[in-house]
Amino acid sequence: MCPYFDIFNRLKDTYLNTDLYRSVYECTDKLMAKERFDKWIEDTFEQKLETFYTTANTVRANFDNILNFFNNRSTNANAESFNAKIKLFRANLRGVTDTTFFLFRLHKLFA
């Protein structure tokens, strides 16, 4: 892999833990992803990788929401992007006084 891994074992452990986390998203099955997440969280605490404690606790706290990704393998990125466009459009208008006209323009530009 990397010559530094022979010198810095902790770096190797951290790299492999990160790689294991990334591999979870290669799963196509929700149950397999759940098993891999459980294994990743367990390995993180067993290896005492304190850098990943926050991430592991966040994954554990939002487990069901994260696993919903594996139902259709889609995120809400499109909605977030559209929301950002609306905010930018509204900021360029320097405030909105006529809400009806704003929604009309929004509909004409983005629909």
Query: Is 102 a residue whose pLDDT tops 90?
Result: no
Instruction: For residue range 73-95, list pLDDT tens digits in order.
Output: 777 788 888 888 888 877 777 77
Average pLDDT, the chain: 85
pLDDT score for 1: 61
Query: Model confidence over 45-65: pLDDT tens digits?
Result: 998 988 889 999 999 999 888
Mean pLDDT of 104-109: 81
Q: Which residues, at least 6 apart from 55, have a Cβ–Cβ distance to it below 8 Å?
A: 21, 44
Q: Does pLDDT of 110 surpass 90?
A: no
Distance CA 10, CA 96 (A): 54
* Dihedral over alpha carbons 88, 94, 95, 101 (to 10 degrees): -80
Calculate what percentage of the chain has a pLDDT beyond 70.
Answer: 95
Structural domain spans, the chain:
8-72, 77-110
